[in-house]
Amino acid sequence: MQDWINTKLVKVTDELEKSIMDSGRPKRRVQVNVTDRNSIYDILDLILTALFPIAFAKNSIDMAEINFFIGNTLRQIAFMLESELNNIFLFCCPKENCKSEHCKQLASQVTIDLIENLPQLRETLMLDVEAAYNGDPASKSLEEIILSYPCVEAIATYRVANHLYDNGVPLIPRIMTERAHSRTGIDINPGATIGNYFFIDHGTGVVIGETCTIGNHVTIYQGVTLGAKSPLDKNRNPRRGEKRHPDVEDNVIIYANSTILGGDTVIGENSIIGGNTWVLESVPPNSKVYSSQNNNKIKDN
């Protein structure tokens, strides 16, 4: 082994360096300290802690000191997130002669905007928790849901990531939601638009695509896919920048292992999609769709 290290390892090192340096990024950006996933995970954990201290704080909290605890957590978020945003804005900046001061100002603005919106995000998330409590007769309390239901972490992460996504932040929102995906089995793209009072029951295997829109008071179960009919266009190129995923209107229930595909597919309000159904066309409001002998049946409620 030592002989190999002394004689051959340098070749592998050089080949890896060349591949990294030739990966398509302008050489002027190589010097930028691009985002470290572990740092993003740490920031996300702090944000979740600020939103739900009882569930995500690493140590027990004296509630008499909760104001100090939250304030200190927000200060950590502010410094860490601004630094990571500055790095990522510099790395992805399209300007050949970018002035780093501009990226730093943008990083500060986005950081402040997120932190100032955390109270509103928590209010929205508490509606999601309420939806879970009202939608699952097995639940005993809001605290049980916050502490134990995987949908809370997945949806909370999505709502934070979506706020950053809507503010033009690259890479970081996807890193956040993919961490939630790996931990909960729930895959929500940060570009999706999801209304209030949203509940994912059980959760494992749920996929919600980037251009999907979901209204208010929607419940979906495990294994549901809201996806695209094809990721490629007729020329076999990725279909970026177009509507690919379905719309789900208000007061819809989608049961386990259903698949709904297509950017022009709309599930009308007050509808129920039964388990194991395959939906490629729009469904009128107030409908029930269920699978029977491999064919979908639609009935008015």
- pLDDT tens sequence across 192-232: 999 999 999 999 999 999 999 999 999 999 999 999 998 77
Greater confidence (55 vs 234) lies with 55
**pLDDT bucket at 147, cuts 50 / 70 / 90:** very high
CA–CA separation, 147 vs 56, rounded Å?
Answer: 8
Q: What is the pLDDT of residue 30?
A: 43
Q: What is the pLDDT of residue 16?
A: 84
Q: What is the pLDDT of residue 228?
A: 94
For the domain made up of 30-185, give the CATH fold: serine acetyltransferase, domain 1 (1.10.3130)
Asked if the domains 30-185 and 192-301 are classified in one and the same CATH topology, the answer is: no
Quote the percentage of the chain above a pLDDT of 70.
90
Could you report the per-residue pLDDT of 50-107, keeping only the tens digit for each? 999 999 998 888 888 999 999 999 999 999 999 999 989 988 876 666 667 788 899 9
29 has a pLDDT exceeding 60: no
26 has a pLDDT exceeding 80: no
Q: Domain 192-301 classified CATH 3.90.45.10?
A: no
Q: What is the pLDDT of residue 27?
A: 47
Of the candidate ranges 17-21, 118-122, 216-220, 281-285, the one whose mean pLDDT is the lowest: 17-21
Quote the percentage of the chain above a pLDDT of 90.
71
Average pLDDT, the chain: 90
Of the candidate ranges 38-42, 88-92, 99-103, 149-153, the one whose mean pLDDT is the lowest: 99-103
Q: What is the pLDDT of residue 292?
A: 61
Q: What is the pLDDT of residue 172?
A: 96
Write down the domain spans for the chain. Answer: 30-185, 192-301
Q: What is the pLDDT of residue 14?
A: 87
**pLDDT bucket at 241, cuts 50 / 70 / 90:** confident
Strand partners, 193: 213
To the question of pTM greater than 0.75 for the whole model, the response is yes
Q: What is the pLDDT of residue 295?
A: 65
**pLDDT bucket at 301, cuts 50 / 70 / 90:** low
Q: What is the dihedral of CA 281, 284, 286, 292, to 10 degrees?
A: -40
**pLDDT bucket at 240, cuts 50 / 70 / 90:** confident
Of the candidate ranges 127-136, 170-179, 182-191, 226-235, the one whose mean pLDDT is the lowest: 226-235
40 has a pLDDT exceeding 60: yes
**pLDDT bucket at 137, cuts 50 / 70 / 90:** very high
